[in-house]
Amino acid sequence: MSKSKIEWTENTWNPVTGCTKISDGCKNCYAAVMAQRLKLMGNKKYVNGFEVALHEYCLTDPLKWKKPSLIFVNSMSDLFHEDIPLDFIQKIFGIMNKASWHTFQVLTKRAERLEELAPYLNWSPNIWQGVTVESDQYKYRIDSLRKVNAKVRFISFEPLIDEVKNLDLAGVDWAIVGGESGFKSRRMDSEWVLSIKNECDQQGVSFYFKQWGGTNKKKNGRLLLGQTWDAMPEIGAK
User: How does pLDDT run across 10-58, given as a tens digit for each residue?
Assistant: 999 999 999 999 999 999 999 999 999 999 999 999 999 999 999 999 9
Longest dimension (CA), the chain: 49
Q: Is the model's pLDDT at 236 over the cut of 90?
A: no
29-37 own/partner pairs: CB under 8 Å, 24+ apart: 30/181, 30/182, 31/75, 31/76, 31/77, 34/76, 35/76
pLDDT band at 184, cuts 50/70/90?
A: very high
Comparing C-alpha atoms, which of 201, 208, 203, 204 is closest to residue 224?
A: 208
**What's the CA gap between 145 and 83, in Å, rounded?**
20
Q: Is 66 left (phi over 0), alpha (psi -120 to 50) or beta?
A: alpha
Q: Please name the helix (run of DSSP H) or strand (run of DSSP E) that holds residue 37, with its range, or none.
A: helix 30-40
Share of the chain above pLDDT 70, in %: 99
**What's the CA gap between 233 and 56, in Å, rounded?**
31
**Average per-residue pLDDT in the chain?**
96
**What's the CA gap between 238 and 232, in Å, rounded?**
15
Instruction: Compute φ and ψ for 138, nearest 5 degrees.
Output: -110, 15
Global pTM value: 0.96
Taking a C-beta distance cutoff of 8 angstroms, is the pair 123, 153 a contact? no
Q: Is the model's pLDDT at 205 over the cut of 90?
A: yes
pLDDT band at 238, cuts 50/70/90?
A: low
Residue 137: its pLDDT value, please?
Answer: 97
Taking a C-beta distance cutoff of 8 angstroms, is the pair 227, 195 a contact? no
Residue 190: its pLDDT value, please?
Answer: 98
pLDDT in tens, 145-182: 999 999 999 999 999 999 999 999 999 999 999 999 99
Q: Is the model's pLDDT at 125 over the cut of 90?
A: yes
